[in-house]
Structure 1
């Protein structure tokens, strides 16, 4: 089903139209400059506007999905549904380290004993060679997700000469909901069960009413707030923009 023109753009708020126009302009500039562009997505509800705009402009842009082996089955089903519906080009990437080698001597997976190392093996490490092949990396990070992301710029240097592009930076959950409704696109099925930020199943809990940000269900009870993709795979960032 092609949903790219399901509703006219003027059904969206001016704020959303401004953000979509900025996204389109930046993508057009990258293409005109001959840059190789890729995007990464965890296929959560908040990824929908980014994925939809990409599908309208260039469906050949690869969408990297880090197949950690620990995702909720519902996430994999949602990924496949959205990819088919929008005609996306999905690049499933796995860690070069087999799961049998991702255990402690007493047999526990690293997500239980050292979650940061688990994230490194299953996210940061497999993303590194991908970034070497592209000039622009599109990600769906937003300022309102946590304190670490609040100072991000629209564009920022990444590793290996890659430019990080953050088109969702100034979107809010309300804007994402409005956009999704306008185009008739479904939310992640676990959202209705109280999961507002969804990563790997062992490290994800339902959102707590007392939480200060929507990612509070990730690595709950730990000081850890990021998987490393948006902390380790960055260069020096400007706070402008």
Structure 2
């Protein structure tokens, strides 16, 4: 299991990852960006997540994952179609760079189905979900939302952005 450790994650996210790793005996490998956070700035010295979130996501998520894809045949990704328009256009089996198959086993699940499965199997959930965070990513780009908001509206709030690039840049359209 690869974990995209951007360096911008909530402490609760890394604690949750550690809990899952210990509870289920998972082999989790942290993928980190090659460009240090201190150098992730635009020409005016602003941190990229404030001025160019697409490039920030590319450096911190897309590039690290792309670097290991060639070593594998299948990439299993837990996205759901009901999370965003982009995700609704994916297929259960898609293509990724390096002749890798993208497999989305939960694509046809709903949020309610996921929560029912968690409850039925007594699985831990991310602690920030209890605090109003529904879609949890990097701390600077994630906000709490109300129950009536679309699930990904809390990501990149006010930036007309709902995807980090993993489901856009790393999809090969055939």
Query: TM-score band, normalised by the shorter chain?
Result: over 0.9
Q: What whole-Å deviation, never above 9, does each CA across 1:36-83 have from its counterpart, x for those lacking one?
A: xxxxxxxxxxxxxxxxxxxxxxxxxxx111110000000000010011
Q: Distance in 2 between matches of 1:221 and 1:99?
A: 23
Which of 36, 42, 49 lines up with 1:98 in the alignment? Answer: 36
The RMSD of aligned alpha carbons is: 1.2
Q: 1:203 — aligned with what?
A: 141
Q: What whole-Å deviation, never above 9, does each CA across 1:183-236 have from its counterpart, x for those lacking one?
A: 21121101111000000000000013442x211100111111100001000111
Work out whether 1:215 is the aligned partner of 2:164.
no
State the TM-score, normalizing by the size of structure 2: 0.96
Q: Distance in 1 between matches of 2:140 and 2:24?
A: 29
What is the SS of the residue equivalent to 2:79?
coil
Q: Distance in 2 between matches of 1:153 and 1:120?
A: 23
Superposition map of 1:100-119 within 5 A: 100-119=38-57
Q: Distance in 2 between matches of 1:147 and 1:234?
A: 15
State the TM-score, normalizing by the size of structure 1: 0.70
Which of 160, 165, 168 lines up with 1:228 in the alignment? Answer: 165
Superposition map of 1:60-75 within 5 A: 63-75=1-13
| Structure with greater helix percent | 1
Structure having the higher Rg: 1
Tell me if structure 2 keeps the 8 A contact 1:141–1:149: yes
List alignment gaps of at least 5 residues for structure 1: 1-62
Superposition map of 1:163-178 within 5 A: 163-178=101-116
Tell me if structure 2 keeps the 8 A contact 1:208–1:217: no
What is the SS of the residue equivalent to 1:92?
strand
Give the 3 Å change call, closer, same or farther, for CA 99–139 of structure 1 in structure 2.
same
Q: 1:81 — aligned with what?
A: 19
Superposition map of 1:8-23 within 5 A: none
Superposition map of 1:122-161 within 5 A: 122-161=60-99
Q: How far apart are residue 180 of structure 1 and its match? A: 0.9
Moved more, 88-97 or 179-188: 179-188
Q: 1:52 — aligned with what?
A: none
Q: What whole-Å deviation, never above 9, does each CA across 1:91-115 have from its counterpart, x for those lacking one?
A: 1010111112102344321101111
Give the 3 Å change call, closer, same or farther, for CA 100–228 of structure 1 in structure 2.
same
Q: Distance in 2 between matches of 1:209 and 1:168?
A: 22
